[in-house]
A and B are shown apart, each in its own frame.
Chain A
Amino acid sequence: MARMKFLCDAERCIACNGCVTACKQENDVPWGVNRRRVVTMNVGVPGERSISVACMHCSDAPCMAVCPVDCFYHTEEGVVLHDKDLCIGCGYCFYACPFGAPQFPQSGAFGVRGKMDKCTFCAGGPEPDGSEAEFKKYGRNRLAEGKLPACAEMCSTKALLGGDGDTIADIYRDRVLRRGKGAEVWGWATAYKLPPAGAKPPAANGGTKS
Chain B
Amino acid sequence: MREPIVRAVTAIFAALLIIGSGPGFAQSPAVNPAIAEAAKAEQKQQVEQPLNNQPVWSEVRSGVPQWTSTLGRETNVLIQPQGETWRALRDGWVSVWAGWALVVMLVAIGVFYFSRGTLQLHEPLTGRNLRRFTAWERAIHWASAISFSILAISGLVIVFGKNLLLPLIGYTLFSWLAILAKNLHNFVGPLFIVCVVLLFFTFVRDNLWRMHDFTWIRHFGGLFSARDVPSGRFNAGEKLWFWGGLLVCGVVVGASGLILDFPNFNQTRGTMQIANIVHLSIASLFMLAGLGHIYMGTIGMAGAYDAMRTGYVDEAWAKEHHEYWYNDIKAGKIPEALEGMPDASPDLKQHPA
Q: B81 to A42, Cβ gap below 8 A?
A: no
* In the complex, A202 has a CB within 8 A of chain B: yes
Q: Which residue on chain B has the smallest CB distance to residue A189? A: B54
How close is A186's CB to chain B, nearest CB, in angstroms?
11
Q: Are B269 and A37 in contact (CB under 8 A)?
A: no
Question: Among the listed B39, B43, B60, which residue makes an inter-chain contact with A51, where contact means beta carbons less than 8 Å apart?
Answer: B60
Does B353 interact with chain A (Cβ within 8 Å)? no
Number of interface residues of A (CB under 8 A): 65
From B55, B57, B80, B158, contact of A68 by CB (8 A): B158
Quick check: A34 and B51 within 8 Å, CB to CB?
A: no
A89–B180 Cα distance when bound, in Å, is 12
A109-B175 contact in complex given A34-B75, A184-B52, C-beta closer than 8 Å: no
Q: Does B42 contact A (CB under 8 A)?
A: yes
B189 nearest in chain A by CB position: A110
Given the complex, which residues of A lie within 8 Å of B46, measured CB to CB? 46-47
A98 touches B38 (CB 8 A): no
The answer to whether A46 and B39 touch (CB under 8 A), given A39-B66, A39-B67, A39-B68, is yes
Q: Are B179 and A37 in touch, CB under 8 angstroms? A: no
A20, A37, A110: most-surrounded residue (chain B CB, <10 A): A110
Distance from A190 Cβ to chain B, minimum over Cβ atoms (Å): 6
Nearest B residue (CB) for A179: B51
Contact B72 A88 (CB under 8 A): no
Complex contact B42–A107 (CB within 8 A): no
At the interface, is chain A mostly helix, strand, loop or mixed?
loop
Can you list, as one digit per residue, whether each of A12-55 has a CB less than 8 Å from chain B (1) or not (0)? 00010100100000000000101001111111111101010100
Closest-by-CB residue of A relative to B273 is A95
Contact A100 B182 (CB under 8 A): no
CB distance from B80 to the nearest CB of A (A): 5
Which residues between 163 and 210 of chain A lie within 8 Å of chain B, taking CB atoms? 180-185, 189-190, 193-195, 201-202, 204
Known A100-B74, A109-B262; judge A42-B53 contact (CB<8 A).
no
- Chain A residues with Cβ below 8 Å from B49 are 195, 201
Dominant secondary structure at the B interface: helix
Contact A69 B38 (CB under 8 A): no
Shortest Cβ gap from B277 to chain A (Å) = 10
Candidates A70, A113, A184; contact of B263 at CB < 8 Å: A113
- With A53-B78, A69-B166, A96-B87: A41-B52 Cβ-Cβ less than 8 Å: no
Roughly how many angstroms separate A201 CA and B46 CA in the complex, as a whole number? Answer: 11
Give A181 to B53 CA distance when docked, in angstroms.
Answer: 8
User: In the bound complex, do residue A68 and residue B76 qualify as a contact, i.e. CB atoms below 8 Å apart?
Assistant: no
Closest residue of chain B to A90 (Cβ to Cβ) is: B182
Query: Do A45 and B42 have beta carbons less than 8 Å apart?
Result: yes
Residues of chain A within 8 A (CB-CB) of B84 are 62, 96, 98
User: Bound state CA distance, A49 and B159, in angstroms?
Assistant: 40
A117 to chain B, nearest CB (A): 13
CB proximity of A98 to chain B, nearest CB, Å = 5
Chain A: which residue is nearest B75 at the CB level? A37
Closest residue of B by beta carbon distance from A41: B66
Q: With the chains together, A49 CA to B68 CA distance in Å?
A: 12
Chain B nearest CB from A28 CB (Å) reads: 18
Is residue B69 within 8 Å, beta carbon to beta carbon, of the partner chain?
yes
**Least Cβ distance of A177 to chain B in Å?**
12
The answer, yes or no, to whether B347 is at the interface (CB within 8 Å) is: no
B90 at the interface (CB under 8 A from A): yes
Residues from 166 to 189 in B contacting A, C-beta threshold 8 Å: 166, 171-172, 174-175, 178-179, 182-183, 186-187
Chain A residue with the shortest CB-CB distance to B70:
A37
Q: Are B72 and A34 in contact (CB under 8 A)?
A: yes
The contact string, 1 if C-beta is below 8 Å from chain A, for chain B 84-113, is 101100110000000000000000000000
Chosen A-B contacts, 18 in total, with CB atoms closer than 8 Å, are A20-B70, A34-B70, A34-B75, A37-B68, A39-B67, A39-B78, A41-B60, A46-B43, A70-B162, A95-B83, A97-B83, A100-B269, A110-B261, A111-B182, A113-B263, A181-B50, A181-B53, A189-B54
A residues at B contact (CB < 8 Å) = 10, 15, 17, 20, 32, 34, 37-47, 49, 51, 53, 62, 65-71, 83, 85-91, 94-100, 103, 107-113, 180-185, 189-190, 193-195, 201-202, 204
